[in-house]
Homo-oligomer: A and B are copies of this chain.
Amino acid sequence: MKLEMICTGEEVLAGQIVDTNAAWFANTLMDKGIECQRRVTVGDRLEDLVAVFKERSLEADIILVNGGLGPTSDDLSTEAMALAMGVPLIENIEWRTKLEDWFARNGRVMAESNLKQALLPESALMIDNPVGTACGFAVKFNRAWLFFTPGVPFEFKRMVTEQFIPFVEERFAASSSVALKKLLTLGNGESALADRLEAIPLPEGITLGYRSYMPYIEIKLFARGAAAITSLPRINSEIKALLGNALVAENVTTLDQEIHNKLVNSGLSLCVAESCTGGMITSGLVAFPGSSSYLHHGLVTYSNEAKVKVLGVNPQTLDDYGAVSIATVEEMAKGARNILGSDYALATSGIAGPEGGSADKPVGTVAIALATKYGVHSQMLKLPSRSRELVRTLTTAVAYDMLRRELLGDAVIVDYSSFSRFSK
């Protein structure tokens, strides 16, 4: 089976938006053992769309088309497909009824332009969209099945998961059985990880991949076929042993989620006092429904006055050691924890850059503390200073990792090969 993707839309082609749908799609298929062989991105010109549908339908078995199903005049995917096939557009009564119901239920008047969304090429199979006004559809043309999906990310993702993948599995030989393990690492470069893991010989059918996304590197262990699947747990254990402290989570994509899960399950409470991370630790957790059950408060105390007035940091400490120091973050963490007697408090202070560095404390210098009922753990690190964003996301990740290790009963402070530590 040869599978391709066609992405449509001026805004994607012209770089006005980064095509996250495409990356998500390929990644999701990969997890199912299905490979996408080519991706073509075109704009909203009718003749370009017609040309690419004709051309790729001669080469591929299945083509996922994304975008161009909306109500406006630059949404042309449906019309282009009908033109390519030389068939008329026919109103789909089922979808028209759904549209009318949807607008009625939401107390809104349906615009004339929405009626266009019920027009499909003759012979198309309508594909339900339970969360939007654009239905999908599938047509057989030349060698290929073309499967049309809306561009809105959450509508797209739902349609791929609930409809496209079953559609592919039903029509094409089920892919050989596959299994996948994901290991999330922090604080090591990709080549350093690869050098370390080279020592492990991989049995046939097992492949190792790296997905680098700031500030983590995810290791993907992919097994295809029964023999490979059987040996996967053993290989996984060997890799975990080699990774050591670099391994921070399994089968989740971020440490935020790992911390959220652990705190929800533990019944313990957290508060956060942030300076350089500026709310990133807090927002990472608030993104998950249910975070209110453990998150007492998150205080961004950017100025020295705020550190004194809100957290009770001693002005003398700020004078003696500076805002970016072990002494200050320890007082920040203790002060934050005392406000509501939370079980844990995380505090950060650092120089995110690009300005503000000095010889003693260059850009990338950050201090992080974790206060518990029994005391405070803290460290001051020199992080890579390539960008403000990177310093902030790395600081957030290390803070989460300290809390994660505390929750596991492990040593809170460990070495990360890419970061150097200031002595106290």
Interface residues of A (CB under 8 A from B): 10-11, 13-20, 22-28, 30, 35-43, 48, 52, 70-74, 111, 113-114, 131, 154, 190-191, 194-195, 209-213, 218, 220, 271-272, 277-280, 282-283, 285-287, 289-292, 295-303, 305-306, 309-310, 339-340, 352-355, 386-389, 392
Chain B residues near A283 (CB-CB < 8 A)? 278-280, 283
Q: Is the CB of B41 within 8 A of A48?
A: no
Known: A16-B218, A278-B291; 11 extra A-B contacts, CB below 8 A, are A15-B27, A17-B23, A19-B19, A38-B40, A272-B300, A278-B285, A279-B300, A282-B300, A286-B300, A289-B388, A300-B300
Chain B residues near A291 (CB-CB < 8 A)? 278, 302
Q: Is the CB of A302 within 8 A of B309?
A: no
Q: Is the CB of A287 within 8 A of B15?
A: no
15 A–B pairs (Cβ distance < 8 Å), ordered by A = A11-B212, A13-B26, A15-B30, A16-B30, A38-B42, A41-B41, A72-B194, A73-B194, A271-B306, A278-B285, A279-B279, A279-B286, A286-B302, A296-B303, A298-B302
Task: Name the one of B39, B43, B297, B389 contacting A40, with C-beta atoms under 8 angstroms.
Answer: B39
Known contacts A26-B15, A287-B388: A195-B111 contact under CB 8 Å: yes
CB nearest neighbor in B for A28: B15
- When chains A and B are docked, how far (Å) is the Cα of A175 from the Cα of B274? 48
> Closest CB of chain B to A205's CB: distance in Å?
17
CB nearest neighbor in B for A336: B310
> Closest CB of chain B to A332's CB: distance in Å?
12
Q: Is the CB of B30 within 8 A of A52?
A: no
> Closest CB of chain B to A314's CB: distance in Å?
17
CB nearest neighbor in B for A72: B194
- When chains A and B are docked, how far (Å) is the Cα of A195 from the Cα of B110? 13
The 6 closest A-B pairs by CB, nearest first: A278-B286, A279-B279, A15-B26, A15-B27, A298-B300, A15-B23
Q: Is the CB of A16 within 8 A of B299?
A: no
Q: Is the CB of B213 within 8 A of A154?
A: no
> Closest CB of chain B to A197's CB: distance in Å?
11
- When chains A and B are docked, how far (Å) is the Cα of A213 from the Cα of B195? 40
How many copies of the polypeptide does the oligomer hold?
A: 2
- When chains A and B are docked, how far (Å) is the Cα of A423 from the Cα of B282? 32
Chain B residues near A14 (CB-CB < 8 A)? 26-27, 30, 35-36
Q: Is the CB of B310 within 8 A of A303?
A: no
Q: Is the CB of A297 within 8 A of B303?
A: yes
Q: Is the CB of B303 within 8 A of A299?
A: no
Chain B residues near A19 (CB-CB < 8 A)? 18-19, 22-23
Chain B residues near A111 (CB-CB < 8 A)? 191, 195
> Closest CB of chain B to A341's CB: distance in Å?
10
Chain B residues near A15 (CB-CB < 8 A)? 22-28, 30
- When chains A and B are docked, how far (Å) is the Cα of A299 from the Cα of B392? 18
Q: Is the CB of B340 within 8 A of A305?
A: yes
Q: Is the CB of A209 within 8 A of B303?
A: no
Task: Name the one of B154, B302, B387 contacting A387, with C-beta atoms under 8 angstroms.
Answer: B154
Chain B residues near A286 (CB-CB < 8 A)? 277-280, 300, 302, 392
> Closest CB of chain B to A184's CB: distance in Å?
13
Chain B residues near A290 (CB-CB < 8 A)? 355
CB nearest neighbor in B for A182: B16
- When chains A and B are docked, how far (Å) is the Cα of A339 from the Cα of B300? 13
- When chains A and B are docked, how far (Å) is the Cα of A222 from the Cα of B267? 55
Q: Is the CB of A355 within 8 A of B289?
A: yes
Q: Is the CB of A71 within 8 A of B191?
A: yes
- When chains A and B are docked, how far (Å) is the Cα of A301 from the Cα of B286? 11
Chain B residues near A18 (CB-CB < 8 A)? 18-20, 23
Q: Is the CB of B26 within 8 A of A37?
A: no
Q: Is the CB of B310 within 8 A of A209?
A: no
- When chains A and B are docked, how far (Å) is the Cα of A303 from the Cα of B298? 10
Known contacts A278-B287, A282-B300, A302-B295: A37-B43 contact under CB 8 Å: yes
